[in-house]
Amino acid sequence: MTQPKAIIKAELGWPTGDQPGELRFQYPPSEAARTTILRALSPVFPPAGAPSAELYALNPPEGVAGRYRLTTPEGAWFVRVSMWQRDPTREKNFTDYLSSRSVPVNQILVAGIPLEWEDRGFQIDVRPLIMSHSVV
């Protein structure tokens, strides 16, 4: 697996920059991408295996890469599928540490789930879905 050199637009945050307005997860991934993402997640995040699981992207998805809202009758979660290989344990430990010190962060529920797509390696993270943004 080699790191792609180009930025995939679907990996970026809110489509309208730092003033996102209404957050609309309105873009469905291809059926192949949807199935691949949910299959990779379901062993470690059971809601992804629900027959009613829906997955919609914030930006038009490119393959599997993107920022998604996963919904089931039990709830909704933010799913990040990224081509950038990070240290998921370090990232999770860092956000858990900040949270334990009462710093408002969006904790990671599962981190670094590997996904292979078109001979590229991706990682999947799941967090609670927070449909808001803050102004500092």
The fold of the 26-128 domain, in CATH, is Phosphorylase Kinase; domain 1 (3.30.200)
The answer to whether residues 127 and 70 touch, using CB atoms and an 8 Å cutoff, is no
Task: Provide the residue type at 56 as one letter.
Answer: Y
Q: What is the model's pLDDT at position 1?
A: 46
Q: How far apart are CA 127 and CA 121, in angstroms?
A: 20
Domain ranges, ordered by start, for the chain: 26-128
The answer to whether residues 14 and 130 touch, using CB atoms and an 8 Å cutoff, is no
Task: Provide the residue type at 125 as one letter.
Answer: D
The answer to whether residues 14 and 44 touch, using CB atoms and an 8 Å cutoff, is no
Token code pair at residue 22: 């209404």
Query: Could you list the pLDDT tens digit for every one of the 136 residues in the chain?
Result: 444 445 555 555 555 555 556 678 899 999 999 999 999 999 999 999 999 999 999 888 888 998 999 999 999 999 999 887 777 788 888 888 888 888 877 788 898 999 999 998 999 999 988 765 554 4
